[in-house]
């Protein structure tokens, strides 16, 4: 799959989670896909809130485009802080009004608060070999600003408008990728 030429993309820095390494996380999420046909991935970023993810995916659907989340490595060894909290999500909602229980065979854990969201994926793949992407080939969706990944904003909704500027460490390994499926992102509690 040519990951670098998608019109709409979500880029997320990946790291360990509550004592689980990346391989363990993906093994668990792959089982959820096998059992449920979809899996949830918890995010916490002010540049990828539930409504922003739903907006980019709805725009993509109008244009008959799919939206993929590219999980990329951090720019430095200490660039991605491991998630230490593993609060359990029990309910999800598309609109924060109607809530429903997640399937018993699915697990969403992390720091759960009003800023948390979960993307909904129907495909999830570890990259082998690790392709590279240039973050300068993207801009922040809706603003056109150069892409900037940072603590608190380690996930960003993007479009394929080149910015040709921005982060110094702009070439990153794609560790994994996933395809978003309706409802694309959900509120969690």
DSSP 135-188: GGG-EETTT-PBP--BTTB-EEEEES---S-S-SS-EEEEEEEEEEEEEEEEEE
Asked if 154 and 42 touch (Cβ cutoff 8 Å), the reply is no
Q: Domain residues for 103?
A: 3-188
Percentage of residues in the chain having pLDDT higher than 90: 67
Of 1-10, 64-73, 106-115, the range with the lowest mean pLDDT is 1-10
Give which of 74, 73, 48, 65 is closest to 5, Cα–Cα.
65
Asked whether residue 32 carries a pLDDT value surpassing 60, the answer given is: yes
Neighbours of 59 (CB within 10 A): 16
Q: What is the pLDDT of residues 137-183, one digit of tens each?
A: 999 999 999 998 988 889 999 999 999 888 888 999 999 999 999 99
pLDDT mean over 17-41: 87
The enclosing H or E element of 57 equals: helix 50-62
**Dist. CA 138–CA 3, nearest whole Å:** 12
Check the CA dihedral 175-145-114-186 and report its sign.
Answer: negative
Question: What pLDDT does 168 receive?
Answer: 86
- Average confidence (pLDDT) over 71-100: 81
Closest CA to 12 of 102, 80, 107, 106: 80
Provide the token pair at 50.
Answer: 């539930």
Segment 33-44 shows an average pLDDT of 94
Given a cut of 60, whether residue 40 has pLDDT beyond it is yes
pLDDT of residue 86: 76
pLDDT score, position 114: 86
Using the predicted structure, report yes or no on whether residue 82 has a pLDDT greater than 60.
Answer: no
The pLDDT confidence band at residue 93, using thresholds 50, 70 and 90, is very high
Q: How many domains does the chain have?
A: 1
Q: Which of 118, 129, 131 is nearest to 180 (CA)?
A: 118
Q: DSSP class of residue 83? A: B
């Amino acid at each position: 799959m040519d990951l670098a030429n998608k019109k709409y993309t979500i880029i997320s820095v990946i790291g360990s989670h509550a004592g689980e390494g990346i391989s363990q996380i993906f093994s668990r999420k792959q089982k959820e896909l096998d059992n449920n046909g979809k899996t949830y991935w918890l995010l916490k970023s002010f540049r990828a809130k539930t409504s922003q993810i739903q907006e980019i995916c709805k725009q993509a659907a109008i244009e008959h485009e799919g939206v993929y989340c590219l999980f990329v490595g951090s720019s430095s060894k200490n660039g991605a802080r491991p998630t230490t909290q593993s609060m359990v999500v029990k309910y999800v909602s598309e609109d924060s009004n109607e809530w429903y229980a997640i399937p018993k065979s699915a697990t969403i854990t992390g720091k759960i608060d009003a800023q948390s969201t979960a993307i909904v994926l129907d495909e999830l793949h570890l990259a082998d070999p690790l392709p590279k992407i240039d973050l300068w080939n993207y801009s922040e969706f809706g603003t056109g600003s150069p892409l900037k990944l940072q603590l608190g904003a380690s996930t960003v909704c993007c479009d394929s408008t080149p910015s040709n500027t921005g982060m110094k460490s702009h070439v990153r390994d794609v560790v994994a990728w996933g395809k978003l499926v309706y409802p694309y992102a959900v509120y969690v509690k």
